[in-house]
């Protein structure tokens, strides 16, 4: 499961929803390889980009609420769909989160985009 948190810290979840630490039992404690460091940097960058995407979407939604543009859950969802579609079309976010934007847009008609952004997980 690919997850992120608004704090920017990566979270890995098992299929049952419980958190799972990264387990490298084949190495001695404290030993890392170049491949591990590269994966870590890539994961950190993707996690940061996903956190940034969620933050931007939720901040824009909050401002739209304050301005009276969004008043109902349906209007919220429509606002987020339009914003994500524009962000995808204009490539406003890194390529590493393009799959996540597509995933969010596919779930948009179900009416729970805000909840997906707030929870920060996709399966």
Cα 55 to Cα 49: distance, rounded to the nearest angstrom = 10
State the pLDDT at residue 54: 93
Tell me the C-alpha distance between 1 and 11, whole Å.
9
Indicate the pTM of the whole model. 0.65
CA distance 113 to 106: 10
In tens, the pLDDT along 14-40 reads: 444 443 333 333 444 555 554 454 445
Q: Let me know if residue 27 belongs to a domain.
A: no
**Residue 26 belongs to some domain of the structure:** no
pLDDT for the residue 1? 38
Which residues does 38 contact at the CB level (< 8 Å), separation at least 6?
A: none
Domain range for 82? 2-20+33-122
Structural domain includes residue 98: yes
What is the total count of domains within the chain? 1
Tell me how far apart the alpha carbons of residues 27 and 23 are, in angstroms, rounded to a whole number: 10
Residue 83: band (very low, low, confident or very high) from pLDDT cuts 50, 70, 90: very high
């Amino acid at each position: 499961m690919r997850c992120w948190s608004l704090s920017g810290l990566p979270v890995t979840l098992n299929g049952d929803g419980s958190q799972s630490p990264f387990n490298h039992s084949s190495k001695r404690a404290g030993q890392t390889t170049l491949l591990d460091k590269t994966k870590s940097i890539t994961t950190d960058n993707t996690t940061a980009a996903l956190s940034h995407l969620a933050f931007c979407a939720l901040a824009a939604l909050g401002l739209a609420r304050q301005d009276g543009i969004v008043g109902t859950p349906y209007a919220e969802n429509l606002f987020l769909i339009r914003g994500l579609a524009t962000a995808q079309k204009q490539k406003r976010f890194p390529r590493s989160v393009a799959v996540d934007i597509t995933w969010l847009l596919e779930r948009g008609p179900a009416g729970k985009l805000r909840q997906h952004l707030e929870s920060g997980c996709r399966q």
